[in-house]
Structure 1
């Protein structure tokens, strides 16, 4: 009898909870006060984000899985993601075949130095286009946009002839010198980013500095540039990644001696076999798949590590520069 009384009491309390204010609270919990703060909405958002994360991570996970597979695991269609045993020799062959330490130094030179130069030159150019009145400013901005719209394949032959006559082929000057003049890789886009950012700054800062007697250069380097650290970080990371992954221009201008990792990966099979492999050689000795995936991982890992370290400041810079608009 006592148990029946407890059951009836719990049933009465449940009916009370689900009626009146209790039902309103349950509805508020499930649906939310707004469209995106209810339980159903959050579950849907998490579900969609999980799918998107999987789509982005799947190639990276496949690359790691393949580079750790043995040859029997590569040939066995039943082995999909988890290899039966880990094969570390693929990483060793990739390190040796790509001459990784030397090529990594070359790639860092091509990625870091032009990136710093582009941050400085593009910030000065973007500030001039955003704040300084001078004749033909709109024309200059239109020409900058034109350089961004023209594909590099159209001007590759004149550039090759010019760099050949200047003796810049197979040297980092083919990327450093254009960056000094605001014509480096994607420089037009970086100028637009800085122009957008500087237009959002209040003019009262510049007016107060000019009243205190600051020159234009002192105003920019002491006040404006420190305020533009988020935009500088965004531009540096974009420039670093694009220079790091650049393969078309590198294959045209840096095919010998000063060879970055992207070109080493393309020639990895040649390094393994000692000469250009034929289809018959690949069919008899299909060992390059895991090695190529190991080489791709060695290329992807350094910029991924840089982004993981600077992620918070990068997202803040994206929001402040207006790239999400």
Structure 2
């Protein structure tokens, strides 16, 4: 019995050691060595991200499911998310009511050319404010920043008077010409983005080009501008989406003839279902809800497709331009 006692103690100590190791390993798996390494932290993070994703995606899912519902599904309160049958007539009515090809052409003309102009002009302005030395540089940057703070509602009436006298109303010039002078939609923000990006580039590139006899314009277009493709992509996508979705200024300047998608959505119900106004208590009329959701989907689909294609380069550009740390 006495000989067995040390062996039993040794076995118990080994067993307790093994159990302690297992407990420590389980603890590391659950809690992790750092705060965000363990399963518990990951479950909490994924749970919070799922909630945020649901909040952002719920309107989109509602839009898609509503536009695919038949009139019977829209009138049936038991049908919430998944329609019993897929009905494509809402998309057909919205396509015809928006005059979609013509409206897409009008909107694309403003969004595409306006974005390309802003990439070029804001890039040149941002480079000048970042690298060149000239009198009044800080004052000009302050004025650029001031235009970013001034809301468009303050200057909408003077702009309307100016564009009316120039004969530019109901033409794309009301957006394209200001963009040529660095005063397009959110141009001040894009100038700041380019300035931040150019400040991060090494000056040795410019010094070497200057030694070789390159002018400022040749230096910018041959060396600096090709290196700023991440910033150009960020500015282009932001500008394209803002021009595409712009409603406030287009409602003043493009009220007839050259109307983009954002304006035609507001009159879609009248175009399809007649000029009789819908009473305020019936704004969520199930008879027209599917068509309105189909029209909204047709409007958001092109920029959504563009973002899906350029998503990877867009995220890389956001990181390199210093918009996030």
TM-score between both structures, scaled by the size of structure 1? 0.91
Residues 16 and 22 of structure 1 are in contact (CA less than 8 Å); yes or no, is this contact kept in structure 2? no
- Residue 159 of structure 2 is aligned to residue 159 of structure 1: yes
For 2:272, the equivalent position in structure 1 comes to 272
**Aligned residue for 1:8?**
none
* Cα distance, 1:282 vs structure 2: 6.0
Quote how far apart the aligned CAs of 1:25 are: 2.5
2:74 touches 2:286 (CA, 8 Å); kept in 1? no
- Structure 2 counterpart of 1:191: 191
Q: What's 1:7 paired with?
A: none
Distance 1:15 1:261 in 2: 73
CA contact (8 A) 1:65 1:82 kept: yes
- 1:9 is aligned to none
- Inter-partner Cα distance in structure 1 for 2:302 and 2:274: 28
- Render the CA deviation track for 1:37-95: whole Å, top value 9, x for unaligned: 22211111111111111111000000011111122222222211111222211101100
- Structure 1 segment 305-316 matched on structure 2, within 5 A: 305-316=305-316
Alpha-carbon contact 2:170-2:258 (below 8 Å) kept: yes
Query: Equivalent residue for 1:76?
Result: 76
1: distance between equivalents of 2:59 and 2:220? 44
Aligned to 2:291: 291
Cα distance, 1:171 vs structure 2: 0.6
- Kindly tell me: are residues 313 and 17 of structure 1, through their superposed partners in 2, closer, same or farther at Cα, counting changes over 3 Å? farther
Deviations 1:220-258 (A, max 9, x none): 111111111100000000000000000111111111111
Rounded to whole Å, the distance in 1 between the matches of 2:40 and 2:91 is 45
Q: TM-score of the superposition, structure 2-length normalised?
A: 0.91
1:29 is displaced (CA, Å) by 2.0
- Residues of 2 paired with 1:276 and 1:172: CA distance? 31
1:154 aligns to what SS in structure 2?
A: helix
The Cα of 1:280 is off from its aligned counterpart by 9.5
Q: Tell me which residue corresponds to 1:44.
A: 44
| In structure 2, C-alpha distance between the alignment counterparts of 1:19 and 1:119, rounded to whole Å | 64
Is the contact made by 2:318 and 2:324 (CA closer than 8 Å) also made in structure 1? Answer: yes
Partner of 1:124: 124
Query: Structure 2 vs 1, CA of residues 145 and 83 (structure 1 numbering), >3 Å: closer, same or farther?
Result: same
Unaligned runs of 5+ in 1: 1-11
* TM superposition shift of 1:286: 4.8
**Is the CA contact (8 Å cut-off) linking 1:269 and 1:277 kept in structure 2?**
no
Inter-partner Cα distance in structure 2 for 1:239 and 1:102: 21
Counterpart CA distance in 2 for 1:237 and 1:145 is: 21
Conserved in 1, the CA contact under 8 Å of 2:111 and 2:239? yes
| CA RMSD of superposed structures (Å) | 1.9
Q: Cα offset for 1:273?
A: 2.7
The total of aligned residue pairs comes to: 312
What's 1:318 paired with? Answer: 318
Aligned to 2:33: 33
In structure 2, C-alpha distance between the alignment counterparts of 1:27 and 1:280, rounded to whole Å: 59
* Structure-to-structure mapping, 1:1-325, within 5 angstroms: 19-279=19-279, 286-325=286-325
